[in-house]
Amino acid sequence: MNNLHKYATALLLMVLINKTVNAQVYDNIFRASDAAMLQLQGNSRIEHTLKGATIIFPNGTNQLNVSINIPSDAVGNNPVADTDFIVPDYLFQLKVNIEPDEIQEELTSSKTFLTKGFLTLNSITKPVAVNYTPAASGTEENGNFNIYMTVQFNAADFNLDRPDKNKQFVIIINDAKVNRV
């Protein structure tokens, strides 16, 4: 009976330690949001849902960083069905300079900011058009905010399409938490 009590105590202690460690790890994970990607070509429009859009705004900087994995089949780059070749996802990395003081002043006004960002996609970096609207997050007194954002780019600029086609893509992010680090 005494051994059973020791084992139960040890097991309980291990569970509590595991829960504490997991809680600490969770606090360091950035919150991600879903995004949508519209593919526009001529009169056609195809929408894809993208999981795991991460928006990071490092303290002490004016640079907002957006990262999203875009499945290769979402941009129309499907491998030949006869092979076992798997095309990896594309990493969408956007850097946008923003003014945190201006955002704080306009947080409840629904003002949309029009700017350029630098998009790195398929190992190519180019300027792209960015529209974003900051929104109150409930903790705005700490400088926190959520964001609505659209980013438009041409597939051919990033070698995602054959040159004879003219696909446009629009990434849409709605009410995403901006992770402060």
pLDDT digits (tens, 9 = 90+) for 93-140: 999 999 888 888 888 888 999 999 999 999 999 999 999 999 888 766
Domain that holds residue 161: 32-180
Amino acid residing at 174: N
Same domain, 5 and 36: no
**pLDDT tens profile 23-50:** 333 344 678 888 999 988 888 899 999 9
Amino acid residing at 149: M
Q: Judge contact between 148 and 141, C-beta under 8 A.
A: no
Please compute the mean of the pLDDT values over residues 64-75 and round it to a whole number.
90
Same domain, 68 and 134: yes
Q: Judge contact between 176 and 53, C-beta under 8 A.
A: yes
Answer with the residue of higher pLDDT: 141 or 73.
Answer: 73
Same domain, 16 and 103: no
Angle value at C-alpha 53, between 181 and 56, nearest 5 degrees:
15
Amino acid residing at 7: Y
Q: If you search the block for the tokens 């923003």, which residue do you land on?
A: 98
Choice among 34-43, 49-58, 139-148 with the minimum mean pLDDT: 139-148
Q: Judge contact between 90 and 121, C-beta under 8 A.
A: yes
- How many structural domains comprise the chain? 2
Angle value at C-alpha 170, between 108 and 160, nearest 5 degrees:
150
Q: Where are the alpha helices (DSSP H) in 28-157?
A: 100-106
Same domain, 47 and 25: no
Neighbouring C-alpha atoms within 13 Å toward the C-beta of 113: 21
Same domain, 47 and 17: no
Choice among 45-54, 78-87, 138-147, 150-159 with the minimum mean pLDDT: 78-87
Neighbours of 8 (CB within 10 A): 10
Provide the pLDDT for residue 23: 36
pLDDT band of 12, cuts 50, 70, 90: very low
Please tell me whether the overall predicted TM-score, pTM, comes out greater than 0.85 for this model: no
Same domain, 133 and 176: yes
Is residue 174 pLDDT above 80, yes or no?
Answer: yes
Provide the pLDDT for residue 141: 66
Provide the pLDDT for residue 88: 77
Same domain, 36 and 15: no
pLDDT band of 77, cuts 50, 70, 90: low
The strand ranges marked E within the chain are 32-41, 44-57, 63-70, 90-97, 113-121, 124-135, 146-154, 168-177, 179-180
Of the chain, the percentage scoring pLDDT greater than 90 comes to 39
